[in-house]
Amino acid sequence: MTAIEVYRGEGSQPGPDMLEPLIGSEAAALVRGRAALDAHAHPVQSVRLVIPYRPGLRLAQLVRVTDARQGPAWTAKITGLEHRLDGQTVLTALNLERPR
């Protein structure tokens, strides 16, 4: 089993211990450790938006949201995505995570 230690920032805070017996390479273990640190690095706010159909969007993509009703523009990561037909209109529903 591969073992690594992942540190972020000034190197004073190690990531949490993880046991992933199916990870077989050092590269995969590094990606898994980095993802765990990123997930706990900053508090996030979950936001759901329904917008007119937008092709080409994908999970984990960063998007810039500009809506005068929500204040200044902000950047978020797509965590959920669905396209649906509402009568005669095609809509895209996005679940987003934005930093607080």
Convert the pLDDT of each residue in 31-73 to its tens digit.
887 787 777 777 889 999 999 999 999 999 999 999 888 789 9
Q: Which domain holds residue 35?
A: 7-41
Which residues, other chains included, contact 58 with Cβ-Cβ below 8 Å and sequence gap of 6+? 78, 81
HSE-up of residue 36 (Cα within 13 Å, Cβ side): 18
Contact 14, 3 (CB under 8 A): no
- In this prediction, residue 23 carries a pLDDT of 81
Q: Helix/strand/coil (H, E, C) string of 5-67?
A: CCEECCCCEECCCCCCCCCCCHHHHHHHHHHHHHHHHCCEEEEEEEEECCCCCCCCCEEEECC
- Both 90 and 58 in one domain: the answer is yes
- Both 75 and 64 in one domain: the answer is yes
Q: Specify the number of domains making up the chain.
A: 2
- Both 35 and 74 in one domain: the answer is no
- pLDDT of 86 > 90? The answer is no
- In this prediction, residue 1 carries a pLDDT of 65
